[in-house]
Amino acid sequence: MMTDTNANAPGRRIAFLSANTPEAEAARLRLIELYGDSDPETADVVVALGGDGLMLQTLHRFMHTGKPIYGMNRGSVGFLMNDYREDDLIQRIDDAESSVIHPLAMIATDIHGKIATAMAINEVSVLRQSYQASKIRISVDGKERLLELIADGVLLATPAGSSAYNLSVDGPILPLNSPLMALTPISAFRPRRWRGALLPDSAHVTLDVLEAVKRPVAAVADHFEFKEVVKVEIAMDHATNLVILHDPGHSLDERILREQFGFEDERRG
């Protein structure tokens, strides 16, 4: 049961959410003992206890509220999370630096004409569903830029997501405040030398799937998947602000910069 207690600082209502793991749930119960708990829908700040997966789920849950999210790492991957400590939590939240990010809005149409919409904080990816490589035509702002990409797929990443899946397929890491998106092929076969493109974050990207029945393709916006697509349209939603809180010196800007020099991988071991 959730209760509002005087342990929270005046005007500071904190809600604790945890991943479905023993370690994260134990941390949530301990922090509730120390600081009380508020309803997540009315809290001033949400503390997410887990890994980056929980952080993405929490950001999606509160996407249109502007509610700040402060994560503490109780999972295996914590690029978006702060270090876990139980002491001085209210002061840490008060002193935290905020990073504002914007999600991608995806509109996908399948071979039956059904339309699905979804938001992505990290990236929208278009991936082959079978043993055959996908064939994709790429247009930017209504102008065809690549007649035919033959590949396992292609993705469009936000700056916040550029160090996730995008980086694993050799895409560029983007500074958080850069007005850019990374368009990156996944195991490209043709054009063999194409390594992707950096696009302004005002661009509207259209991915047309060629031979969609013979070469089925799925569109994925973070954790949402829509199969057998024929067209995927993507644009950044600048009207939606997602606020992530980090301890001073560990902002998302700083972490992305460190990632470019290899320090994050070294820290993770």
145 and 183 part of one domain? yes
Phi, psi dihedral angles at 28 (to 5 degrees): -60, -45
Cβ within 8 Å of residue 190, ≥6 positions away: 148, 149, 150, 151
**CA 119 – CA 121 distance, rounded (Å):** 7
- What pLDDT digit, counting tens, does each position of 120-141 carry? 999 999 999 999 999 999 999 9
pLDDT (0 to 100) of residue 249: 75
CB within 8 Å of 74: residues ≥ 6 apart: 18, 19, 21, 23, 24, 27, 49, 50, 51, 84
- Indicate if 175 and 75 belong to the same structural domain: no
> Which residues carry out catalysis?
52
What backbone torsions phi and psi does residue 61 show, to the nearest 5 degrees? -60, -40
User: The tokens of 244 are what?
Assistant: 């992530």
Question: Are residues 127 and 156 located together in one domain of the fold?
Answer: yes
Per the structure, how many domains does the chain have? 2
In a domain, 7, yes or no: no
The Cα-based distances of 162 to 64, 105, 183 in angstroms read: 22, 16, 10
Q: Which residue positions in the chain have pLDDT lower than 70? A: 1-11, 77-78, 251-252, 260, 262-269
Domain span at residue 177 reads 104-236
Query: In CATH, what number is assigned to the domain containing residue 120?
Result: 2.60.200.30
Same domain for 178 and 138, yes or no, is yes
Amino acid symbol at 16 = F
**In this structure, is residue 155 part of a structural domain?**
yes
Same-domain status, 77 and 137: no
191 and 256 share one domain = no
Query: Are 237 and 106 contacting, i.e. CB atoms less than 8 angstroms apart?
Result: no
Q: Give residue-wise pLDDT tens across range 242-268.
A: 999 999 877 667 777 777 676 554 444
Residue 199 maps to a domain: yes
List the CATH number of the domain containing 93: 3.40.50.10330
Is 201 within a domain?
yes
